[in-house]
Amino acid sequence: MQEVFLISPIRSKIDSVREQTIQALHRPTDFRVSEQSARDVTVLAPDALPPKKGLSLREGQGRLLHDLASIELQAMEMCFRSLIEYPDAPSEFREHLAQITLEEASHLELCLNGMEKLGYQWGHWPVHMALWQSLRREDSLLDRILIVHRYLEGSGLDAGETLMKRLSGVLDHGLKSIVNTIVTEEVNHVRFGSDWYRTLCQQEKRDPEIDFRERMIKIRYQVPKRIENISVELRKKGGFSDSELQFIEEMRQSIVKYKKGEK
């Protein structure tokens, strides 16, 4: 059985994850995690990626799906990784996480199929690995839930709302359907993170509101910086409280000021 993270062809990686997720759910010690996950495309830093075309153009739509495929690939890998690295997490948590892993695989496949219908292949553009690189072996389970399901996927909801608005004038209904499916199901993934974050905080006798702020400050240099406007509606559906949203907005504003060179 080849290790998922060492497989580079993207379709083979999807097949392997689907085959091995249930095995990892029940026998996580049979697997190990690599520091890097293999890619069969060029990998660059996020700020070194080429500029994007507008979404009114076929190339712009293909690039959008390619970028989304890269994000969903990393999301699938991160969920699979958590199944392996947290074997002692509650069984209900792990079962739901396995389901989310398979949903991320389906999202990735949707993107690849849609991109190919537009005449583009995986690897036509370079990709980044910033999401995968946000994880550390020393992350606690609460850290991992916050990073993956509340910070990264929560940021995905912000981007998803913006994207749906940009796609409102695009005639390709297939493209809009793919994005809508992903955004709708990602809300449930974020809700999974929010609910389990609070459950585990309570089990550890932590105040989840206080812990959220303290943990966000702790991991802020570990994760990509986001300046996208906050999607209050989608994040609330994903289980964010008003005080958490206020804190995220404060962090976003400080990043915006920093990028503008303000003190």
Label residue 69 exposed, middle or buried (CB < 10 Å: 0-12, 13-18, 19+): buried
Into which CATH architecture does domain 4-259 fall?
Up-down Bundle (1.20)
Q: Quick check: 48 and 125 in contact, CB under 8 A?
A: no
Residue 188, Cβ density class (10 Å: 0-12 exposed, 13-18 middle, ≥19 buried): middle
**Rounded CA gap, 42 and 5, in Å?**
16
C-alpha distance across the termini of the chain, in Å:
53
Write out 24-41 in H/E/C secondary structure.
Answer: HHHCHHHCCCCCCCCCCC
The residue type at 129 = M
Q: Give the global pTM.
A: 0.96
Kindly list the domain boundaries of the chain, sorted by start residue: 4-259
Residue 134: name the closest of 69, 60, 37 by CA: 37
Rounded Cα gap, residues 81 and 170, in angstroms:
36
Confidence (pLDDT) at 263: 47
194-199 long-range CB contacts below 8 Å, 24 or more apart?
194/149, 194/150, 194/238, 194/239, 194/240, 195/239, 196/93, 196/145, 196/149, 197/142, 197/145, 197/146, 197/149, 197/150
The H-assigned helical ranges of 27-151 are 58-85, 91-117, 141-144
- For residue 113, what are the contacts with CB-CB under 8 A and spacing of at least 6? none
pLDDT digits (tens, 9 = 90+) for 69-104: 999 999 999 999 999 999 999 999 999 999 999 999
In this prediction, residue 23 carries a pLDDT of: 95
Question: Which residues does 67 contact at the CB level (< 8 Å), separation at least 6?
Answer: 52, 125, 127
Q: Which of 133, 130, 162 is nearest to 64 (CA)?
A: 162
Q: Is the dihedral of CA 23, 24, 26, 32 positive or negative?
A: positive
Neighbours of 216 (CB within 10 A): 18
Q: What is the pLDDT of residues 166-193, one digit of tens each?
A: 998 887 778 999 999 999 999 999 999 9
**What's residue 227's pLDDT?**
86
Return mean pLDDT, the chain: 95
**pLDDT tens across 106-137, in order?**
999 999 999 999 999 999 999 999 999 999 99
Contact 39, 74 (CB under 8 A): no
Split at pLDDT 50, 70, 90, the class of 27 is very high
Whether pLDDT at 246 is above 80: yes
Owner of token pair 């690995």 = 129
Going by C-alpha positions, the residue among 75, 1, 72 that lies closest to residue 31 is: 1
